[in-house]
Structure 1
């Protein structure tokens, strides 16, 4: 192989790396930011932000030890849960996810397709799981690297961190409760209505509730395993 061909191939590979690590992030973040702005214009000004963390030993409450709640939390059976609008259309952005701990604000869209959702810098909702604020498991996926990489720093979340999901009608606050550093992509138990790993069976939950699951690839720049973070609904208020 001639030296010129080696140099040419090296330049092509370098351009591919630049495209994946810089250009896709730039484009996806720009589109995701525009989508969040469009949703906020449609809904009106967002409610005040919820603090990103709580004092040690008080994972469910605010600084005074009381939950930040303006509406009674629904029961685990779902009998007191508020009515929800019809399911979003496939690939439709319909909510905004905020995680202050890692500086994330991203749109949530229906489905987890790459072209229609994840590669646009969105966070995707697993369609067969519950919607935000509903009984069961509101499960989400996002890229860890490239295409906006909204879940790049998901491993930095700690028990007690706050996560908000804002929709047209309400704001739901979840509190980080547990995590699973590594599991197989086939571990469907982590997004079950009562989430529990099918592989590391000691990790997860055993009772019905109102759960949030965040999933992404791990380790970085690999899709071999999945990183999972779970939270519980601790506050809800209408917009």
Structure 2
């Protein structure tokens, strides 16, 4: 009897180990492949130069950001997010929706209650931290002043990271038009990223807040900091 119990425990241990390997390794391989393909497809369909404006070009005021209409929820990629702090080649697809169908495959999903990139209010997205591509694994490394770039068919939106906050999973107010202030009327253009916390758990949520600094239309070319990666994505080498 003791021998049988021992064998059962060993079997259970092996099964648990295989599950952990699948969850933390294989899901990342599958998701990374799908995300790279999605980014490449978006980049190839993108209409606009991939070279940045000349370094000596005078600054241009492009007026209020253009804000695209929200797409249907699903697998259609409507943007790409670049976060240089996470690595020079970091570029992840942006889709509509935060269900497993979106987050487990395509990375960053927009909450349906949020505004679109560049809109007044809160452009809020979610992403996994350790599995399914681990798109926000390094979110805790962001420091104030870091740039977060969002590319859509209309152009590029540059957000500047402000701070992180650790909250409980029921804190829906972080998704308010003015984050954490559900009764306030927005005048700024926020970007909020949400993910699980700690890195290998889900007891809390880590929330990252940024503010829009500037935007430039697709015809102006990408910001210099991400130009190389924009070109690599368009060439299918992202």
Partner SS, residue 72 of structure 2: coil
* Structure 1 equivalent of residue 211 of structure 2: 232
Q: Which has the higher contact order (CA 8 A, sep 6+)?
A: 2
Q: 1:107 aligns with which of 72, 75, 93?
A: 93
CA distance in 1, matches of 2:68, 2:7: 61
CA distance in 1, matches of 2:201, 2:70: 32
TM-superposition CA deviations, 1:99-151 (whole Å, max 9, x none)? 0001231101101001x211114101001110001111100100011111100
Give the unaligned 5+ runs of structure 1: 51-67, 75-80, 199-204
**Do the aligned partners of 1:140 and 1:213 also contact (CA within 8 Å) in 2?**
yes
State the superposition RMSD in angstroms. 2.5
Q: 1:34 aligns with which of 24, 31, 37?
A: 37
In terms of fraction of residues, the more helix-rich structure is 2
Aligned length: 209
TM-superposition CA deviations, 1:46-94 (whole Å, max 9, x none)? 64579xxxxxxxxxxxxxxxxx9644453xxxxxx53x44321112221
CA distance in 1, matches of 2:51, 2:171: 36
* Structure 2 equivalent of residue 124 of structure 1: 109
Q: 2:21 aligns with which of 18, 29, 53?
A: 18
Where has structure 1 moved over 4 Å in runs of 4 or more? none
Distance 1:147 1:49, change over 3 A: farther
Distance 1:119 1:100, change over 3 A: same
* Structure 2 equivalent of residue 90 of structure 1: 73
Q: 1:194 aligns with which of 173, 178, 185?
A: 178
* Structure 2 equivalent of residue 149 of structure 1: 134
Superposition pairs for residues 161-200 of structure 1, below 5 Å?
161-180=146-165, 182-196=166-180
TM-score norm. by structure 1 comes to 0.80
